[in-house]
């Protein structure tokens, strides 16, 4: 007998008390929790909650975006930036090409090569106000998962208010589980030393979120 | 260190281990500081959500729905994972799971793997099994790294090195990092930020060269075949994304029915666990994705006592657990005894009900765990999936001293009462006998009243010594209440 | 309204003053209270140690002793919780073991009538000022089963706040268990003692002259630890404070 049969057989015997005719959906699940806890201003809450967990939050409009991104990379002293294939062309238009090397997000780029890159600029799939969360789904303006993981500086652009939802419950239906998803709430952190929170371990230690009003 | 950390095997019963822990002043201070810090933070994070009771009830109900139809959801999960390019394996016990993982790693030709913190692999002793096959498992969670470098055992579900303070961690890093890779900086101090930086540098080279990653999962969505790992440091993202092969070992109870069900747990887990609105990183993946992440994905579904737990209608609720560790942080017994006294990967209140169900109550340590509680109920109060831990503790105490029906490796059987409780059983039965006969009870009360001046208040003999070692006894009154009552109703009280 | 006192075996044997205080207090509030002498113990020590079958005769005894009373008043959060939470479980398990519905039926009959003392005062009688006088500095420790199983909430505090002369001082870490836990106190004596010592030190640090609870079994542990540490803080059951008046201070 296969291990599969053994385990499933044990499960079925263990559930001898469950009536045979009972269907899973007949087990009651009352969902009377709130669909959202947000007040009138989800974008404001997103900014506040991102900042609570030490993300650096910036606001601009579409016209100001290229200058802002250029400034953030310059302030950081970045000499190289990973560029997802579908990043809107204009976003890096103010970043000088002679001093900041563009590294494409391509399968041929190894993790070790990414480790030598200073920054990464991406868009996002959706942002959640209540939890201060940015969700990446590997879309063309976001690239592969390692792209936003290995470089130490991540600049992520959120179009507000279009890409902002209030709650986790509102975000899930907008996301496709078929795509690999990364939910980011502030830069990496640990509480492993005396349960005190320290920001910055393995992921990008600096997370800059640009809220672009359209 | 052999690449394997120690083992919980052969540890003494809880009261003996706890007695030693209570005397360890450093341990007491470390645990008190850490648990009290997180307790207040958790309360604040939970208080932010006015619908917490509804979320808690929904979380429990979703898990109950899953457990009552676990076969259905497991089959569905298997189908979806397979369709998405994953390979599903089943393991009835720890040995089988270890065999499967070891063979999968060997097939890749690799001699080392990187691991993201996983309770399931701790439970089955995977690192030790891999070490026997000549494969080095590198733990990458900061606390797991501290434990591994210190040749130590985890003592907490969320923060395995909670028993270590920053000074001890500094010493472990300074002493042992060089042996396994990049050494700690010469100037390392005990500042948490510096310690985290040392870990970052030490592990980075391992991440960049790793070909095989091993993980657990917090949730598996049956409807979509999606696995979810919730973490803080980014080591999880590294392990789940950079290697070519990913092997996830997950307990069968981690399945949830639908994608939308995550809305409940992604609210309750971070707030209960690290007291955050949301943990820094959550990774979700469904099978494999072309050009992004591992090309090969194996899922090992682990039983190892879970179906035996499922077979018990009272004890079953322990399988709702989402491993948040809120019950540990709030437990006054855990705070004083520490995690190692519980003798398994699962310490604290949840461990006291999970371990004796997963492993059975035949061992002396396992039989002592249901008694490692004052039944104060703080664990039940904070549990985000409403596991009535005190109820299960008492239920398991019955199993220990009364015996009764249990399921062992899938077979229904009856166990006999555990040995070593004969005197207690006799005493409590005698108490019932006397208490069920008011005449006998009254005779006892009067005897105590008459001899009350002879009774020592500070040094009882025999088993009573356990009381008087730290507490005086109350003075025995001249007469019990019922004598006063009867005199009074007969009009002798002078009123 | 027929009211019975279920004093509990611990109070009957070791703390008769608490029983006399309950009678004094209830009579002062115009409640005629009876003490059925057939009562003994709720069965909690047996049940919580794992000897459920040994607790069953005491469930029957409790139901028999208090048959016909409208309210069964219990000056112990723990014993009241035993009846309300665990008697139905004992009934369900006996039925599941094929022994019929007798115990479940008994549980069903006693559970709605069983009230802890402060619940009886606040919910049934609707009083919070019971006319008591107790000129002392008091700290209140909410015992676990009253706090978490019964959900007594603010009831004891509201009663204490209305006592003239009483200065109520906050107990730091009040909701933490004192470490008694029935047989836990001897089975895990080291941890129990450590918890007790922490609780006793917290009590001493308040500067109170008395520590008040709704449970004398926990008081036996807290008071015994205080006494061993050389403290003069008195453990007092809430009934003894509420029974005390200017004319008749409770001894």
Token code pair at residue B72: 């259905």
Phi-psi region of B462 (alpha: psi -120 to 50; beta: other; left: phi over 0): left
Q: Helix or strand or coil: residue B317?
A: helix
Residue B23 CB neighbour total at 10 angstroms: 11
Query: Is B59 part of a structural domain of the chain?
Result: yes
Facing B68 at nearest CB: one of A27, A186, A196 = A27
- From chain B, the residues in CB contact with A206 under 8 A are none
The interface residues of chain B toward chain C in range 399-418, judged by CB-CB distance below 8 A, are: 399-402
**What is the sign, positive or negative, of the torsion defined by CA atoms of B274, B279, B285, B291?**
negative
The angle subtended at Cα B372 by Cα B329 and Cα B364, nearest 5°, is 130
**HEC states along A38-75?**
CCCCHHHHHHHHHHHCCCEEEEEEHHHHHHHHHHHHHH
- Closest A-chain CA to B252: A7
Q: Do B459 and B377 reside in the same domain of the chain?
A: no
Give the contacts of B75 (CB within 8 A, at least 6 positions apart).
A8
pLDDT at C94: 98
- Closest C-chain CA to B397: C50
- Closest B-chain CA to A184: B281
Q: Do B3 and B56 reside in the same domain of the chain?
A: yes
C14/B401 CB distance under 8 A: no
pLDDT at B429: 87
| Rg (chain A; Cα; Å) | 22
Q: Which of B420, B451, B470 is the last residue of a domain?
A: B420
B235/A18 CB distance under 8 A: no
B397/C48 CB distance under 8 A: yes
- From chain C, the residues in CB contact with B332 under 8 A are 176-177, 179, 195
A111/B278 CB distance under 8 A: no
B5 pLDDT more than 80: no
Neighbours of chain A (3+ CB pairs under 8 A): B
Mutation target among A190, A196, A198, A205 for the B interface, most CBs of B within 10 A: A190
CA distances from B230 to A47, B149, B307 (A): 22, 24, 25
Alpha carbon B130 to its chain centroid, in Å, reads 23
Mean pLDDT over each residue of chain A, to the nearest integer: 95
Of B67, B481, B453, nearest to B254 by C-alpha is B67
Query: Is B22 part of a structural domain of the chain?
Result: yes
Facing C45 at nearest CB: one of B428, B466, B481 = B428
Facing B92 at nearest CB: one of A3, A115, A188 = A3
B477/C14 CB distance under 8 A: yes
Query: Is B425 part of a structural domain of the chain?
Result: no
Token code pair at residue A97: 């090409």
Query: Is B213 part of a structural domain of the chain?
Result: yes
Predicted confidence band of residue B456 (pLDDT cuts 50, 70, 90): confident
Predicted confidence band of residue B3 (pLDDT cuts 50, 70, 90): very low
- Closest C-chain CA to B431: C46
- Identify the bridge partners of residue B212 per DSSP, sorted by sequence position: B245
Token code pair at residue B71: 């076969």
The interface residues of chain B toward chain C in range 424-443, judged by CB-CB distance below 8 A, are: 424-425, 428-429, 431-432, 435-436, 438, 441
- d(CA C226, nearest CA chain B) in Å: 8
Domain containing B142: what range? 1-420
Query: Is B121 part of a structural domain of the chain?
Result: yes
Extract the runs of DSSP E, i.e. beta strands, from B72-187.
Answer: 87-91, 112-115, 136-139
Query: Is B287 part of a structural domain of the chain?
Result: yes
The angle subtended at Cα B223 by Cα B219 and Cα B229, nearest 5°, is 20
Facing B234 at nearest CB: one of A15, A181, A188 = A188
pLDDT at B181: 94
Residue B29 CB neighbour total at 10 angstroms: 11
A10/B204 CB distance under 8 A: no
- From chain B, the residues in CB contact with A27 under 8 A are 61, 64-65, 68-69
C50/B398 CB distance under 8 A: yes
Share of chain B above pLDDT 70, in %: 98
List domains and CATH numbers for chain A. Answer: 37-213 (3.40.50.10420)
Between CA B374 and CA B394 the distance in angstroms is 11
pTM: 0.96
Segment B248-277, tens digit of pLDDT: 999 999 999 999 999 999 999 999 999 999
Q: Do B109 and B150 reside in the same domain of the chain?
A: yes
Output the domain CATH number for residue B339: 3.40.50.10420
Instruction: Identify the CATH number of the domain defined by range C137-243.
Output: 3.40.50
Predicted confidence band of residue B492 (pLDDT cuts 50, 70, 90): low
pLDDT at B87: 98
What are the domain boundaries of chain C?
3-125, 137-243
The residue assigned the tokens 């929170």 is: A197
Q: Do B355 and B475 reside in the same domain of the chain?
A: no
Give the contacts of A126 (CB within 8 A, at least 6 positions apart).
A135, A163, A164, A165, A171, A174, A175
- From chain B, the residues in CB contact with A182 under 8 A are 237, 281-284
Helix and strand element counts for chain C (H, E): 14, 8
CA distances from C123 to B77, C66, C119 (A): 51, 20, 5
pLDDT at B7: 67
- d(CA C196, nearest CA chain B) in Å: 9
The interface residues of chain A toward chain B in range 174-213, judged by CB-CB distance below 8 A, are: 177-198, 200-204
Q: Are A136 and A188 in contact (CB under 8 A)?
A: no
Neighbours of chain B (3+ CB pairs under 8 A): A, C
Of C248, C238, C245, C250, nearest to C11 by C-alpha is C238
Token code pair at residue B66: 């899953």
Of A94, A93, A95, A69, nearest to A210 by C-alpha is A69
C182/B337 CB distance under 8 A: no
B4 pLDDT more than 60: no
Q: Is A154 on the interface with B (CB under 8 A)?
A: no
- d(CA B309, nearest CA chain A) in Å: 8
Of B254, B148, B175, B25, nearest to A192 by C-alpha is B148
- d(CA B234, nearest CA chain A) in Å: 5
**What is the sign, positive or negative, of the torsion defined by CA atoms of B362, B364, B369, B374?**
positive
B160 pLDDT more than 60: yes
CA distances from B421 to B390, B391, B417, B418, B463 (A): 21, 21, 8, 7, 13
Facing B402 at nearest CB: one of C40, C52, C192 = C52
Q: Are B166 and A193 in contact (CB under 8 A)?
A: yes
As to burial, measured by CB atoms within 10 angstroms (0-12 exposed, 13-18 middle, 19+ buried), residue B109 is: exposed
- d(CA B463, nearest CA chain A) in Å: 38
Predicted confidence band of residue B6 (pLDDT cuts 50, 70, 90): low
Q: Which of B386, B420, B454 is the last residue of a domain?
A: B420
Query: Is B427 part of a structural domain of the chain?
Result: no
Phi-psi region of A186 (alpha: psi -120 to 50; beta: other; left: phi over 0): left
Token code pair at residue B225: 């075949």
Tally the domains of chain B: 2
Segment B55-73, tens digit of pLDDT: 999 999 999 999 999 999 9
pLDDT less than 70: residues of chain A: none
B26 pLDDT more than 60: yes
Token code pair at residue B494: 């002078």
Alpha carbon C210 to its chain centroid, in Å, reads 17
Q: What is the mean pLDDT of residues C6-13?
A: 96
- Closest B-chain CA to C96: B313
Facing B310 at nearest CB: one of A15, A169, A180 = A15
A24/B73 CB distance under 8 A: yes
Q: Do B42 and B182 reside in the same domain of the chain?
A: yes
Q: Is A35 on the interface with B (CB under 8 A)?
A: no
- d(CA B422, nearest CA chain A) in Å: 32
Between CA B215 and CA B230 the distance in angstroms is 11
Look at C49 and B419; give whichever has higher pLDDT.
C49
Alpha carbon B236 to its chain centroid, in Å, reads 20
Q: Which of B144-153, B183-192, B429-438 has the lowest mean pLDDT?
A: B429-438
**HEC states along chain A?**
CCHHHHHHHHHHHHCCCCCCCCCHHHCCCCCCCCCCCCCCCHHHHHHHHHHHCCCEEEEEEHHHHHHHHHHHHHHHCCCEEEECCCCCHHHHCCCCCCCCEEEECCCCCCHHHHHCCCEEEECCCEEECCCCEEEECCCCCCCCHHHHCCCCEEEEEEEECCCEECCHHHHHHHCCCCCCEEEECCCCEEEEECCEEEECCCCCCEEEEEEEEC
Q: Do B396 and B457 reside in the same domain of the chain?
A: no
Chains A and B form CB pairs within 8 A to the count of 272
Segment B77-112, tens digit of pLDDT: 999 999 999 999 999 999 999 999 999 999 999 999
Phi, psi of A161 (to 5 degrees): -85, 0
pLDDT at B106: 98
The secondary element (H helix, E strand) that includes residue C73 is strand C71-74
- From chain A, the residues in CB contact with B412 under 8 A are 13
- Closest B-chain CA to C234: B474
B428 pLDDT more than 90: no
Segment B440-452, tens digit of pLDDT: 888 888 888 888 8
């Amino acid at each position: 007998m296969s291990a599969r049969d053994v385990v499933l057989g044990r499960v079925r015997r263990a559930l001898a008390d469950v009536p045979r005719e009972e269907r899973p959906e007949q087990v009651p699940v009352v969902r009377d929790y709130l669909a959202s806890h947000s007040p009138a201003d989800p974008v404001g809450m997103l900014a506040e909650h991102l900042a609570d967990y030490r993300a650096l939050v910036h606001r601009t409009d579409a016209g100001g975006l290229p200058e802002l991104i250029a400034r953030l990379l310059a302030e950081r002293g970045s000499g190289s930036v990973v560029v997802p294939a579908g990043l809107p062309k204009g976003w890096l238009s103010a970043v000088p090409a002679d001093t900041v090397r563009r590294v494409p997000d391509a399968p041929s780029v190894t993790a070790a090569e990414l480790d030598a890159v200073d920054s990464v600029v991406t868009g996002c799939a959706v942002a959640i106000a209540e939890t201060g969360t940015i969700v990446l789904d590997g879309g063309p303006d976001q690239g592969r998962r390692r792209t936003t993981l290995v470089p130490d500086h991540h600049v992520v652009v959120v179009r507000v208010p279009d890409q902002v939802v209030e709650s986790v419950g509102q975000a899930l239906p907008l996301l496709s589980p078929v795509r690999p998803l990364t939910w980011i709430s502030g830069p990496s952190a640990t509480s492993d030393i005396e349960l005190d929170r320290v920001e910055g371990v393995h992921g990008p230690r600096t997370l800059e979120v640009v809220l672009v009003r359209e | 260190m052999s690449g394997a950390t120690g083992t919980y095997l052969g540890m003494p019963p809880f009261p003996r281990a706890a007695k030693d822990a209570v005397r360890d002043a450093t341990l007491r201070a470390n645990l008190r500081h850490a648990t009290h810090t997180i307790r207040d933070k958790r309360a604040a994070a939970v208080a932010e959500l006015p619908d917490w009771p509804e979320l808690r009830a929904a979380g429990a109900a979703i898990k109950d729905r899953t457990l009552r139809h676990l076969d259905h959801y497991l089959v569905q999960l298997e189908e979806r994972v397979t369709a998405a390019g994953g390979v599903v394996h089943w393991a009835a016990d720890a040995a089988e799971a270890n065999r499967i993982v070891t063979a999968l790693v060997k097939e890749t030709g690799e001699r080392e793997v990187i691991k993201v913190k996983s309770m399931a692999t701790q439970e089955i002793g995977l690192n030790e099994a891999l070490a026997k096959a000549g494969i080095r498992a590198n733990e990458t969670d900061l606390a797991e790294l501290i434990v591994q470098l210190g040749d130590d055992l985890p003592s907490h579900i969320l923060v395995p090195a909670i028993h270590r303070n920053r000074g001890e961690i500094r010493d472990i890093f300074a002493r042992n990092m060089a042996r396994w890779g990049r050494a700690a900086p010469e100037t390392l101090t005990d500042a948490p930020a510096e310690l985290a930086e040392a870990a970052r540098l030490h592990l980075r080279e391992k991440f960049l060269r790793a070909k095989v990653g091993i993980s657990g999962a917090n949730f598996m969505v049956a409807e979509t075949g999606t696995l979810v790992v919730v973490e803080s440091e980014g080591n999880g993202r590294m392990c789940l994304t950079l290697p070519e092969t990913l092997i996830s070992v997950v307990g069968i109870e981690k399945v949830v029915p639908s994608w939308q069900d995550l809305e409940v747990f992604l609210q309750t887990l971070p707030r209960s666990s690290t007291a955050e609105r949301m943990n820094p990183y959550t990774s979700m993946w469904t099978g494999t994705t072309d050009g992004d992440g591992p090309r090969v994905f194996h899922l090992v579904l682990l039983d190892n006592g879970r179906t035996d737990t499922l077979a018990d209608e009272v004890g079953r609720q322990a399988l709702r657990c989402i491993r948040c560790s809120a019950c540990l942080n709030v437990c006054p017994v855990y705070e004083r005894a520490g995690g190692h006294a519980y003798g398994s990967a699962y310490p604290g209140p949840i461990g006291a009900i999970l371990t004796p169900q997963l492993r059975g109550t035949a061992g002396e340590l396992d039989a002592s765990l249901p008694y490692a509680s004052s039944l104060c109920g703080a664990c039940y109060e904070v549990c985000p999936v409403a596991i009535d831990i005190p109820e299960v503790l008492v239920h398991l105490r019955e199993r220990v001293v009364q015996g009764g029906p249990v399921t062992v490796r899938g077979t229904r059987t009856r166990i006999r009462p555990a040995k070593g409780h004969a005197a207690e059983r006799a005493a409590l039965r005698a108490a019932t006998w006397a208490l069920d006969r008011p005449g006998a009870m009254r005779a006892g009360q009067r005897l105590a009243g008459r001899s009350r001046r002879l009774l020592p208040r500070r040094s009882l003999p025999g088993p009573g010594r356990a009381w008087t070692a730290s507490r005086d006894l109350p003075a025995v009154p001249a007469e019990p209440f019922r004598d006063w009552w009867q005199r009074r109703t007969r009009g002798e009280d002078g009123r | 309204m027929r009211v019975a006192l279920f004093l509990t075996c611990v109070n009957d044997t070791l703390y008769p003053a608490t029983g006399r205080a309950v009678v004094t207090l209830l009579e002062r509030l115009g409640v005629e209270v009876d003490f059925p002498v057939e009562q003994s113990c709720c069965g909690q020590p047996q049940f919580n140690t794992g000897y459920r079958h040994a607790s069953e005769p005491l469930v029957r005894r409790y139901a028999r002793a208090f048959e016909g009373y409208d309210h069964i008043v219990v000056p112990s959060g723990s014993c009241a919780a035993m009846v309300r939470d665990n008697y139905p479980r004992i009934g369900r398990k006996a039925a599941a073991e094929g022994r019929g519905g007798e115990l479940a039926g008994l549980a069903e009959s006693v559970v709605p009538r069983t009230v802890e003392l402060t619940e009886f005062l606040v919910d049934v009688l609707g009083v919070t000022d019971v006319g008591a006088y107790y000129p002392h500095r008091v700290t209140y420790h909410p015992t676990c089963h009253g706090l978490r199983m019964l959900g007594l909430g603010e009831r004891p505090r509201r009663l204490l706040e209305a006592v003239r002369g009483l200065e109520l001082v906050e107990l730091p870490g009040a909701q933490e268990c004192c470490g008694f836990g029935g047989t836990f106190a001897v089975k895990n004596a080291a941890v129990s003692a450590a918890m007790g010592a922490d609780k006793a030190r917290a009590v001493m640090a308040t500067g109170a002259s008395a520590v008040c609870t709704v449970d004398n079994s926990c008081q036996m542990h807290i008071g015994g630890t205080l006494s061993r540490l050389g403290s003069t803080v008195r453990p007092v059951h809430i009934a003894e404070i509420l029974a005390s008046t200017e004319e008749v201070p409770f001894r």
